[in-house]
Amino acid sequence: MESSEIIVGLDIGSTKIACIVGRKNEYGKVEILGLGRADSLGVNRGVVENIQHTVNSISKAVAEASANSGVEINVANVGIAGQHIRSLQHRGNIMRNDIDEEISGEDIDNLVENMYKLALPPGEEIIHVIPQEYIIDGQQGIREPIGMSGNCLEANFHIITGKVAAAKNINKCVIKAGLEMSDIILEPLASAEAVLSSQEKEAGVVLVDIGGGTTDMAIFQDEIIRHTAVIPLGGNAITEDIKEGCSIIRNQAEALKKSFGSALSSENKDEEIVSIPGLKGREPKEISLKNLAHIIQARMEEIIEHVYYEIKASGFEKKLIAGIVLTGGGSQLKHAAQLTEFITGMDTRIGYPNEHLAKSPAGEVGSPMHATGVGLVIKGFHKSENQKKQNNKAEGKKRPQKESFLERIFSRGKEFFEKDGYE
């Protein structure tokens, strides 16, 4: 098996670190070969807080993924999130010298490269520059400008920025774990690749990835990314609320949430009670499932209201026909989709990371909590294919170029005069 066929996604989350290995099969579909995961001990709300703990967790997840897939892992696509992530809209342009020459991939690259020179607040850097639509000599709404003619090439861009220190700390952890970082990718963009269909992106959809430390979201409409946001609340905040509200330890709160938790208190009966073992021989503690659901619902409502605020702020609230897709570990909470529909009034479904895979992955990999990791693998293949296309175009440029329109006119004129003896 060639190493070039294999892509590795490394999801450095607040709750878990997951390493997913994938390759393309003979039909060009992505197959997941193996998964490794470890508890994330050094990351809080998407930001590295302890280098050594994070390195140890990465090493453990990578070793497990390597053993499960039978692949030696040296390079990975890494996800980035955290409340330091911001997004902005910007329009850029370049002037071309020769109107007869077709717009090439090189022109697009120059236009994108210019966006990386934008002045940003101190300590911030650009993570992604995503072209939304192109404008050629005032003609708007162009999706594919390559091959067209024009003097002024413009584009509307969605630009995603983050703190330099946060990105460097992630890079440092990856290198210390013995890996090379192929690319750093915003996590909601990766999750979107794993769980959304192209029809949903065209119709208008909101991806909401409820992780442990943060809730990441991305809005697509007309197959264009329109808005991204990171909300600094996630499943860990719910666990903390249960811990405080029920006066129990964190591990018990997490187990309660996963086994008996519900986002709608009205779905639980008053008499439903669960018993928690007491500490060090103390009496067991009885907890009402209705009270538990009240605690969870209050925090879930806050998260969904934040999401709804971002949807309204994007200006696309009325254009999202496909509604909301919930993914991430937090989406597995019972009745999460119903509560989201109730608050936003938008159709909601749970997104599983099998949209673009060869077959539905078995076991853990098919869970919404691994949407980001699977998406990082898919993103890696997209980048690899684009690189191959660019290399092929570069080789094509070495071949003799076609005559320009003016050259053809002059050569035909010359042939005409030579043929009629006007030399």
The single residue listed with the structure tokens 């192929």 is 182
What CATH number labels 86-163?
3.30.1490.110
| pLDDT of the chain, 423 residues: tens digit per residue | 344 479 999 999 999 999 999 998 887 788 899 999 999 989 988 899 999 999 999 999 999 999 999 999 999 999 998 889 999 999 999 998 888 889 988 899 999 999 999 999 999 999 999 999 999 999 998 989 999 999 999 999 999 999 999 999 999 999 999 999 999 999 999 999 999 999 999 999 999 999 999 999 999 999 999 999 999 999 999 999 999 999 999 999 999 999 999 999 998 888 889 988 888 878 888 999 999 999 999 999 999 999 999 999 999 999 999 999 999 999 999 999 999 999 999 999 999 998 778 775 556 788 899 999 999 999 999 888 887 777 776 666 554 444 444 444 445 545 544 555 544
Helices 187-195, 371-398: crossing angle, 10 deg rounding: 90
The single residue listed with the structure tokens 């769980």 is 195
pLDDT, residue 410, reads: 44
pLDDT, residue 1, reads: 38
216 φ, ψ (degrees, to nearest 5): -100, 140
Nearest of 301, 296, 305, 304 to residue 245 by alpha carbon? 296
For residue 398, CA distances in Å to 25, 302, 384, 387 come to 32, 58, 22, 17
Q: Is 116 helix (H, G, I), strand (E, B) or coil?
A: coil
Find out whether 365 and 35 touch, Cβ atoms under 8 Å.
Answer: yes
Assigned token pair, 38:
């470890």
Distance separating alpha carbons of residues 78 and 376, to the nearest angstrom:
7
pLDDT, residue 408, reads: 46
Nearest of 182, 178, 193, 166 to residue 370 by alpha carbon? 193
136 φ, ψ (degrees, to nearest 5): -115, 115
pLDDT, residue 343, reads: 97
Distance separating alpha carbons of residues 335 and 401, to the nearest angstrom:
61
Domain layout of the chain by residue ranges? 86-163, 235-298
Distance separating alpha carbons of residues 137 and 384, to the nearest angstrom:
32
pLDDT, residue 307, reads: 97
CA torsion 312-335-367-309 (nearest 10°) is: 10
For residue 373, CA distances in Å to 111, 158, 197, 407, 413 come to 30, 23, 17, 52, 61
* CA diameter of the chain: 114
pTM: 0.87
Strand partners of residue 398: none
| DSSP per position, 231-286 | ES--HHHHHHHHHHHHT--HHHHHHHHHHH-BS-GGGS-TT-EEEEPPGGGPPPEE
Distance separating alpha carbons of residues 78 and 372, to the nearest angstrom:
10
Strands (E), 30-138: 30-39, 43-44, 47-48, 75-80, 86-95, 124-136
Q: Does domain 235-298 have CATH number 3.30.420.40?
A: yes
Distance separating alpha carbons of residues 263 and 255, to the nearest angstrom:
15
CA within 13 Å, CB half, 153:
28
pLDDT, residue 362, reads: 54
Find out whether 143 and 18 touch, Cβ atoms under 8 Å.
Answer: no
Find out whether 417 and 409 touch, Cβ atoms under 8 Å.
Answer: no
